[in-house]
Amino acid sequence: RLAFVDLQPPDPILGVSEAFKRDTNDLKLNLGVGAYRTEDLKPYVLNVVKKAEKIMLESEENKEYLPIQGLEAFNKATAELLLGADNAAVKEGRVATLQSLSGTGSLRVAADFIAKFLPGTTAYLSNPTWGNHKNIFADAGVEWKWYRYFDAATVGLDFEGLMEDIRAAPEGSVIVLHGCAHNPTGVDPTREQWQQIADLVIEKNHLPFFDVAYQGFASGSLDDDAWAPRYFVSRGMEVIVAQSYSKNLGLYAERVGAINFVLADAEAAKRVMSQLKRIARALYSNPPVHGARIASLVVSRPELFAEWNEEMEYMSGRIKTVRQDLYDELVKLNGDKDWSFILRQLGMFSFTGLNPAQVENMTNKHHVYMTKDGRISLAGLPSSKAAYLAAAIDDSFRN
Ligand code: LMR
């Protein structure tokens, strides 16, 4: 009966990790998935995470179901981390926050909400965007379209194209924005540009929907990285924000995140919350508790919070160092090409401009695993491999 089912190609990002595992060459390097590695290429469990787990073990937490909306202490901490503890919307109870399954699950809950309550509304995604955005909206039954974002000629933001496309979108469209450290390009709007985007979103009565997966990873500062969504909220708009703790707390496999709806008043927040719960109940019933306990302890205990900030600065600092190393090595190999885009890009990734055939050369000849769009995760690069990577990139560009 199911003989007609076609083979689905591997996932563009997680499929790269599967291919990497199959490669037996010692030189292999996985720069596909955005996951932080130490200089020795080991996964990194943050010290604050270990400390929080010790506290949890000592207090003999149970394994009862969480409420559908998740751990109350986590939801309070996460909304405050995102918007600021003294944010008016938080204080006025206008934010509906539901703990969900990291970024993907949080985005999906909101996408289902859009399908249910704003039927026929199109979600506009930056071209390019994180590969899973398309899947999430499509599977929720929300039509999606592109808005222009990346300008290959300048290796920067196509701000005019972005503004034109957001202006041309029908009134009341959902505009999906990356809060900071745009994935995959590493190119963010300036604050001045964000202000102009906000003006236009208000003028067109669009619904801004931020994906904040890298808070603390772009600049090393949690507050600076939340500037854009906070600014939109300060302009009095209804705003949706998905959060993930996969990268900034290294809780990838724990699936910790939240979906926040900032609304006009506390009554609306209560009603929206009831609907988010209804959606989550059918999708996965209630969220996992372990990672949420870790995150709420780290965010709410001052001594853990301070240490977390130090560890995040350390991680984002290491990525900046390898960015510089890669740049220096590439300049040595080919000083005629302008490589400065690597230093300008923010966050975990560099968008190299390698085309799919060149990416194939990177993988088949040099055992460097990366996504077909030309993105490399610098979080997976040790300094000691920067010269090797530069040689592979230089060779592939000459191919
Ligand atoms: C990535 O873009 O590599 C990460 O967000 C991991 C993922 O789930 O795709």
30-55 pLDDT per residue, tens: 999 999 999 999 999 999 999 999 99
Which domain, by its residues, includes 392?
A: 14-45+309-397
B/e letters for 298-310, b = 16+ CB within 10 Å, e = fewer, are bbebeebbebbbe
Distance CA 379, CA 320 (A): 9
Residue 3 lies in a domain: no
Residue 259 Cα distances to 15, 42, 137, 212, 318, angstroms: 26, 30, 15, 10, 29
Widest distance between CA atoms in the chain: 62
Distance CA 30, CA 315 (A): 18
Q: Say how many Å lie between the CA of residue 88 and the centre of ligand 1.
A: 32
ipTM of this complex: 0.92
* pLDDT of the residue at 189: 97
Residue 51 lies in a domain: no
* pLDDT of the residue at 219: 86
* pLDDT of the residue at 218: 87
For 283-327, what is each residue's pLDDT tens digit?
Answer: 999 999 999 999 999 999 999 999 999 999 999 999 999 999 999
The residue type at 233: V
Residue 19 pLDDT exceeds 90? yes
In a shared domain, residues 72 and 217: yes
In a shared domain, residues 197 and 332: no
Using 50, 70 and 90 to split pLDDT, how confident is the model at 399?
Answer: confident
Q: What is the mean pLDDT of the chain?
A: 96
Q: Is 184 in the pocket of ligand 1 (CB under 6 A)?
A: no
In a shared domain, residues 28 and 110: no
Q: Is 261 in the pocket of ligand 1 (CB under 6 A)?
A: no
Q: Report the nearest atom of ligand 1 relative to the CA of 213.
A: 5
Catalytic residues: 130, 211, 247
Strands (E), the chain: 29-30, 95-100, 123-127, 144-148, 150-151, 156-157, 174-178, 207-212, 239-244, 257-262, 349-351, 368-369, 375-377
Task: Please give the share of the chain, as a percent, with pLDDT higher than 90.
Answer: 95
| CA count, 13 A, side-chain hemisphere, 189 | 23
Q: Is 132 in the pocket of ligand 1 (CB under 6 A)?
A: yes
Of 14-18, 235-239, 392-396, minimum mean pLDDT range: 14-18
Mean pLDDT of the region 244-260: 97
* pLDDT of the residue at 220: 82
In a shared domain, residues 316 and 228: no
Mean pLDDT of the region 370-398: 95
Per the document, the length of the chain is: 399
Residue 217 pLDDT exceeds 90? no
* pLDDT of the residue at 307: 97
Residue 344: CB atoms within 10 A of its CB come to 12
In a shared domain, residues 246 and 323: no
In a shared domain, residues 97 and 171: yes
For 114-173, what is each residue's pLDDT tens digit?
Answer: 999 999 999 999 999 999 999 999 999 999 999 999 999 999 999 999 999 999 999 999
CATH of the domain at 103: 3.40.640.10
Residue 60 lies in a domain: no
Using 50, 70 and 90 to split pLDDT, how confident is the model at 60?
Answer: confident
Domains: count for the chain? 2
Distance CA 17, CA 290 (A): 25
Looking only at the bridges linking them, the beta strands covering 150-151 and 375-377 are: unpaired
Q: Is 252 in the pocket of ligand 1 (CB under 6 A)?
A: no
Calculate Rg over the CA atoms of the chain: 21
Q: Report the nearest atom of ligand 1 relative to the CA of 14.
A: 9
* pLDDT of the residue at 88: 96
Can you say how many angstroms the Cα of residue 78 is from the centroid of all Cα atoms in its chain? 15
* pLDDT of the residue at 348: 92
Burial of 121 (0-12, 13-18, 19+ CB in 10 A): middle
Mean pLDDT of the region 327-333: 97
Residue 171: CB atoms within 10 A of its CB come to 8
Last residue of a domain, one of 249, 275, 300: 300
CB-based contacts of 147, cutoff 8 Å, min separation 6: 124, 125, 126, 127, 161, 162, 165, 166, 169, 175
Contacts 24+ apart (CB under 8 A), 90-93: 92/265, 92/266, 93/266, 93/269
The residue behind tokens 């500037």 is 227
Q: Which of 17, 20, 33, 319 to mutate to test the pocket of ligand 1 (most atoms within 8 A of CB)?
A: 33
Q: Whose CA is nearest to atom 4 of ligand 1?
A: 34
The separation between the first and the last C-alpha atoms of the chain, rounded to the nearest angstrom, is 46
Q: Is 34 in the pocket of ligand 1 (CB under 6 A)?
A: yes
Residue 76 pLDDT exceeds 90? yes
Q: Say how many Å lie between the CA of residue 328 and the centre of ligand 1.
A: 27
CB-based contacts of 324, cutoff 8 Å, min separation 6: 343
CATH of the domain at 349: 3.90.1150.10
* pLDDT of the residue at 310: 94
Q: Residue 147's closest CA among 132, 158, 133?
A: 158
Mean pLDDT of the region 183-198: 97
Tokens (6 digits) for 112: 């289902």
Q: Residue 348's closest CA among 225, 167, 195, 264?
A: 225
In a shared domain, residues 136 and 270: yes
